[in-house]
Structure 1
Amino acid sequence: MSNTNNAKESQSSQNSQNSSDSHNTTDDATDNTTATKRPGPMEVLRQARGQLAELTGMEAESVSSFEQTEEGWALEVEVLELERVPDTMSLMASYQVQLDPDGQLTGYRRVRRYERGRADAHRPGGR
């Protein structure tokens, strides 16, 4: 009879263990979901500016375009490339910046340089 009682106790112990394991698995899945929460637009902007500054050594002055894409995020960032006196003669540059969905920079390139005081040329038919 003691073998029967030992078997029942052992089975009961295993069931408790399995129940506890499945509960822990559920908690782990919940924690993973929270850990993979994607950053919002403002956080992406901050990350993009910081990462671009770290890579180029130039601080972003403004973000002139920002959109979410299928691959992540695309931005156009204006930076001061060469400071001159007067300030209107300083050289500015626009950089296209690509980020993954988590806000990590995946690429950038300079698309134009211009003097701070110069407006874009007027294009016929455009505004």
Structure 2
Amino acid sequence: MSNTRDTSQSRDSQKTQESQETHHDREQDAADDRLPTPMEVLRQARSQLAELTGLTPESVSSFEQTENGWSLEMEVLELPKVPDTMSLMASYQVDLDRRGELTGYRRVRRYERGRADARQSGGR
């Protein structure tokens, strides 16, 4: 009789443990489904671009949510020079998915730090 009772208790204990594990799995899945905030996306983009290129982004000049995730343009120092205004900077287009994982990047512009963008003529 005690053997039957031990088996029954063992089954109940196993069911309770499985139920707790299933609940934990559901909570983990919900946490995995949570999309990052814009600031988290920005931090991830900076970190991932630096890891891939070895260049540390100095600033973000554009940041927008797209249909597939996020698109950013980041400014990086590519070649330091003296004086600093002669240093070569670059703008990188960085694309991330909805979870903030980098899906692609490309350099879209290179310029000297001290140079302003050329003004576009307004039809004059």
Whether these two folds match at TM > 0.5 is: yes
Given the alignment of the two structures, is residue 100 of structure 1 paired with residue 97 of structure 2, yes or no? yes
- Residue equivalent to 1:63: 60
Unaligned 5+ residue runs, structure 2? Answer: 1-11
Partner amino acid, structure 1, of 2:108: V
Candidates 64, 79, 96, aligned match of 1:82: 79
Deviation by residue 1:38-90 (Cα, 9 ceiling, x = unmatched): 11111111111111111111110000000111111000000000000000000
RMSD of Structure 2 on Structure 1 (CA): 2.5
Count of aligned pairs: 116
Q: Counterpart of 1:29 in 2: which secondary structure?
A: helix
Given the alignment of the two structures, is residue 43 of structure 1 paired with residue 55 of structure 2, yes or no? no
Pair 83,23 (structure 1): closer, same or farther in 2 beyond 3 Å: closer
Which has more radius of gyration?
1
Candidates 27, 32, 41, aligned match of 2:29: 32
Cα distance in 1 for residues equivalent to 2:58 and 2:21: 48
Q: Counterpart of 2:114 in 1: which secondary structure?
A: coil
Q: Counterpart of 1:70 in 2: which secondary structure?
A: coil
- Of the structure 1 ranges 28-37 and 86-95, higher mean CA displacement relative to structure 2 is found in 28-37
- The within-5 A match list for 1:1-20 is none
Task: Give how far 1:25 is off.
Answer: 4.4
Task: Report the identity percentage.
Answer: 67
Unaligned 5+ residue runs, structure 1? Answer: 1-15
Q: Counterpart of 2:44 in 1: which secondary structure?
A: helix
Partner amino acid, structure 2, of 1:88: T
